């Protein structure tokens, strides 16, 4: 038996995979995006299923399955979500780290977020900072700061005004000189020659404090994300349109950027980051000039982007009520370090 997962629709085989670990279930997820089979008419036969596989089976909507080798943790999940299952052999535990990092009481979506990041099915990349030091006007603002953000993760940085939150973001962007330490985006060290050629992988959405006088349309702002890239006008138009459509601001394309509302500007700025295909998104106090409705809209957009494209997101904010909506890790910048 060289297959690891077989799925049948009304007895007819529609999917077979010989992949290892959880990859066959992720492959099946891609198949379902192309063709939406009635889930109650499907039956999955899997070689091995631990707790992680059980969560993915539930999320895929499969209601009937047969497992050759199943763990007790998988059984708990399948029974909790009323999946009709049978098995050949049961063991207390599958020897896989995912059996330990998941909680049987979490939702299938929560488990999926963790598992797809472990599977590398994300657009984001790692951010690694070691012993960072930044001084402004001979005053040390950041000292001995360490930070690790895994690909596709979300992090919120809070702290009082003037502690260096914006300075930290600008250092990550390479816009703020550093006195010591290293910053790496994926395998690229910020400031290196190869990073300078690929700095578009980091996108920045800052606060819109003042009205600009330079006439520029919303679509032209999005196109800035492709500055310096050798692309045809046709490809540029297609990427700008796709990014604006993705963030729900395509109808603003010909309008003056500086006449847009705060919420509209945020959508256009995020579209610029998507257009440049940024893998790390940095947000500096994104709700400062937004009304309650725009703050809610921004939250829904960011969460939806994070759940689907899964970029790495670092968000600086002091808006406690707003950031509480995100179930992301929160660190406080204080005394030059992250607590």
Indicate the DSSP class of residue 91: E
Same domain membership, residue 33 and residue 166: no
Same domain membership, residue 39 and residue 141: no
Q: Give the pLDDT confidence score for residue 33 in this predicted structure.
A: 87
Of 93, 118, 143, the residue at which a domain comes to its end is: 118
Same domain membership, residue 311 and residue 259: yes
Same domain membership, residue 148 and residue 87: no
Give the relative orientation of helices 108-118 and 51-59 as an angle to the nearest 10 degrees.
120
CA–CA separation, 20 vs 5, rounded Å? 9
Same domain membership, residue 266 and residue 284: yes
pLDDT in tens, 155-177: 999 998 889 999 999 999 999 99
Express as a percent the part of the chain with pLDDT over 70. Answer: 98
CATH number of the domain enclosing 110? 3.40.140.30
Q: Give the pLDDT confidence score for residue 210 in this predicted structure.
A: 47
Q: Angle at the Cα of 187 (from 135 to 181), degrees rounded to 5?
A: 20
| Strand ranges, E, within the chain | 5-9, 12-17, 42-49, 64-71, 84-91, 127-136, 139-149, 154-158, 180-185, 188-189, 202-205, 280-284, 312-316, 329-334, 337-338
CA–CA separation, 12 vs 25, rounded Å? 18
Same domain membership, residue 142 and residue 99: no
**Which pair of tokens denotes residue 270?**
């995020």
Same domain membership, residue 181 and residue 83: no
Same domain membership, residue 97 and residue 53: yes
* Of 265, 269, 263, nearest in space to 243 by CA: 269
Same domain membership, residue 155 and residue 101: no
Please give the residue that has the higher pLDDT: either 320 or 281: 281
* Of 281, 251, 254, 255, nearest in space to 269 by CA: 281
Of 99, 118, 137, the residue at which a domain comes to its end is: 118
**How many domains, the chain?**
2
Find the domain containing 44 and state its range. Answer: 5-118
Express as a percent the part of the chain with pLDDT over 90. Answer: 71
* Of 78, 51, 81, 52, nearest in space to 66 by CA: 78
Same domain membership, residue 88 and residue 234: no
Same domain membership, residue 21 and residue 133: no
Of 94, 118, 142, the residue at which a domain comes to its end is: 118
CA distances 29 to 12, 59, 78, 142, 314, Å, are: 18, 9, 18, 44, 28
CATH number of the domain enclosing 143? 3.40.50.300
Same domain membership, residue 163 and residue 36: no
Q: Say how many C-beta atoms besides its own lie within 10 A of residue 61's C-beta.
A: 15
Mean pLDDT of 283-307: 91
């Amino acid at each position: 038996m060289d297959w690891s997962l077989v799925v049948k629709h009304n007895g007819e085989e529609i999917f077979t995979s010989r992949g290892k670990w959880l990859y066959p279930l992720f492959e099946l997820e891609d198949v379902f995006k192309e063709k939406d089979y009635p889930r109650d008419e499907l039956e999955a036969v899997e070689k091995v299923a631990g707790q992680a596989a059980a969560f993915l089976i539930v999320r895929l909507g499969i209601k009937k399955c047969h497992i050759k080798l199943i763990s007790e943790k998988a059984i708990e999940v399948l029974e909790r979500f009323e999946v009709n299952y049978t098995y050949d052999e049961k063991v207390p535990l599958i020897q896989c780290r995912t059996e330990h990092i998941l909680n049987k009481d979490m939702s299938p979506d929560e488990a999926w977020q963790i598992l797809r990041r472990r599977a590398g099915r994300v657009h984001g990349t790692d951010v690694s900072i070691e012993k960072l030091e930044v001084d402004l006007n001979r005053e040390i603002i950041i000292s001995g700061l360490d930070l690790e953000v895994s690909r596709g993760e979300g992090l919120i940085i809070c702290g009082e005004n003037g502690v260096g939150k914006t300075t930290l973001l600008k250092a990550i962007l390479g816009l703020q000189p550093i006195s010591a330490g290293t910053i790496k985006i994926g395998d690229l060290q910020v400031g290196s020659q190869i990073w300078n050629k690929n700095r578009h992988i980091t996108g920045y959405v800052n606060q819109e404090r003042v009205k600009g006088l330079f006439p520029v349309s919303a679509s032209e702002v999005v196109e800035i994300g492709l500055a310096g890239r050798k692309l045809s006008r046709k490809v540029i138009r297609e990427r700008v349109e796709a990014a604006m459509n993705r963030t729900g601001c395509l109808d603003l394309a010909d309008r003056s950027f500086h006449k847009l509302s705060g919420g509209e500007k945020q959508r256009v700025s995020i579209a610029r980051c998507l257009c440049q295909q940024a893998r790390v998104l940095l947000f500096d106090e994104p709700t400062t000039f937004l009304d309650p409705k725009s703050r809610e809209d921004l939250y829904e957009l960011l969460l939806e982007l994070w759940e689907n494209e899964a970029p790495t997101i670092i968000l600086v904010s002091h808006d406690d009520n707003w950031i509480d909506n995100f179930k992301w890790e929160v660190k406080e910048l204080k005394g030059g370090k992250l607590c």
